[in-house]
């Protein structure tokens, strides 16, 4: 009898362990949900943690709230805050890089918008890169350490001059004139002095060669020498401005010429295509643009360039020993 009683007690021990484990499982929130939540309930406390689909280990559980109703940190269903302990973040399976830019801001300032003072911060530097979710509701920025270089005002002004020449070519060739003629560009000259040009006037003529040829117009290069001038330690030169005069007395030739005038703040340009045989004006163009540092430098370079020459070196006394030379001429101080 005693042995039978001891056997019954031994059989109760596994049963007690089973009951203890069942009570612990029922005390967990995930299982109490099954007792307190009706089937199909969408309340936040009734949702189960989601598992990574396609994961190598399906036991991994995401401890985050991925629902759309908690995307802003406020539960749409209850109107209150999302359950504590669950950071709000995007579902990692839908992560996408977010291209963006990081800016360096200056101190706060005040600005007027429609007569209303508003706070404003100037942007000092801009960095290119992209944002990646950090898994905790924030972002990681991956990009260049060096800032995007700001536009160079002088470079922008130089590009603007080129675009103005392009606009002038559009005006000259807008009606199709000159397409059947050979065009010979010449330097644009000062409006008040036809014998004075500048770097600006020469640049307009050079750029017009590109503008005309890119539009299918034949252009004759009359600066080309009969032979290439090879100069040691200097280079090989195929063009020259020291050649003989070129005749334009032909009805098949159109001369591209023009004038410019400038003041402190503006530049005025007029261009025309003239038929060489009779001087008839075939097409014209005109434009005005604001002065820039680039245009001022180009317009200021006028006159003839200094040519090279050779000066013999002799004894100073022989060079300065001439009739009529005073001490001042020789560079002596007068006592």
| pLDDT reported for residue 325 | 60
Short-list 195, 168, 164, 173, CA closest to 292:
164
| pLDDT reported for residue 212 | 93
| pLDDT reported for residue 131 | 78
| Cα–Cα distance measured from residue 292 to residue 243, given in angstroms and rounded to the nearest whole number | 34
Rounded alpha-carbon distances, angstroms, from residue 252 to 173, 179, 219, 256, 278: 16, 11, 12, 13, 11
| pLDDT reported for residue 307 | 59
Coil, strand or helix at 43:
coil
| pLDDT reported for residue 115 | 84
Q: Which residues of 117-141 are buried (b: 16+ CB within 10 A; e: fewer)?
A: eeeeeeeeeebebebebeeeeeeee
pTM beyond 0.95:
no
| pLDDT reported for residue 23 | 63
| pLDDT reported for residue 168 | 95
| pLDDT reported for residue 109 | 86
Coil, strand or helix at 225:
strand
| pLDDT reported for residue 186 | 94
What are the chain's domains?
Answer: 91-150 (no CATH), 154-300 (3.40.50.10610)
Per-residue pLDDT of the chain (335 residues), as tens digits, is 555 555 565 666 666 666 666 666 555 554 444 455 555 555 555 554 444 344 444 333 434 444 444 544 444 444 555 555 444 555 555 555 566 667 778 888 888 888 888 888 888 787 777 778 888 878 787 877 787 777 788 899 999 999 999 999 999 998 666 568 899 999 999 999 999 999 999 999 999 999 999 988 999 998 888 899 999 989 998 988 887 888 888 888 999 999 999 999 999 999 999 998 899 999 999 999 999 999 999 998 876 555 566 656 665 665 655 556 666 665 565 55
Contact assessment for residue 194 and residue 160, using Cβ atoms and an 8 Å cutoff: no
Rounded alpha-carbon distances, angstroms, from residue 200 to 102, 196, 306: 41, 11, 18
| pLDDT reported for residue 292 | 92
């Amino acid at each position: 009898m005693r042995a039978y009683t001891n056997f019954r007690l031994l059989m109760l021990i596994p049963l007690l362990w089973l009951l203890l484990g069942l009570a612990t499982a029922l005390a967990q929130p995930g299982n109490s949900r099954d007792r307190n939540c009706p089937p199909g309930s969408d309340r936040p406390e009734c949702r189960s943690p989601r598992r990574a689909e396609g994961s190598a280990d399906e036991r991994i559980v995401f401890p985050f709230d991925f629902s759309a109703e908690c995307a802003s940190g406020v539960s749409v269903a209850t109107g209150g805050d999302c359950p504590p302990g669950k950071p709000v973040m995007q579902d990692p399976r839908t992560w996408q890089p977010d291209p963006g830019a990081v800016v360096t801001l200056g101190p706060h300032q005040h600005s007027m918008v429609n007569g209303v003072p508003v706070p404003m911060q100037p942007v000092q530097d801009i960095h290119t890169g992209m944002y990646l979710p950090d898994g905790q509701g924030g972002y990681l920025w991956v990009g260049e350490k060096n800032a995007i270089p700001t536009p160079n005002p002088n470079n922008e002004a130089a590009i603007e001059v080129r675009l103005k020449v392009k606009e002038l070519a559009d005006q000259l060739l807008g009606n199709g004139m000159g397409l059947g003629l050979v065009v010979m560009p010449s330097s644009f000259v000062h409006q008040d002095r036809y014998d004075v040009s500048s770097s600006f006037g020469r640049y307009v003529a050079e750029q017009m060669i590109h503008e005309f040829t890119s539009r299918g117009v034949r252009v004759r290069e009359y600066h080309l020498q009969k032979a290439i001038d090879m100069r040691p330690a200097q280079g090989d030169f195929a063009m020259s401005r020291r050649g003989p005069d070129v005749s334009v007395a032909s009805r098949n030739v159109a001369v591209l010429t023009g004038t410019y005038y400038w003041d402190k703040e503006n530049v005025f340009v007029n261009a025309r295509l003239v038929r060489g045989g009779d001087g008839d004006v075939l097409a014209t163009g005109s434009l005005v643009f604001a002065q820039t540092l680039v245009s001022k430098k180009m317009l200021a370079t006028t006159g003839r360039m200094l040519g090279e020459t050779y000066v013999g070196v002799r004894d100073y006394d022989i060079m300065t020993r001439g009739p009529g030379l005073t001490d001042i001429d020789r560079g002596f101080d007068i006592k």
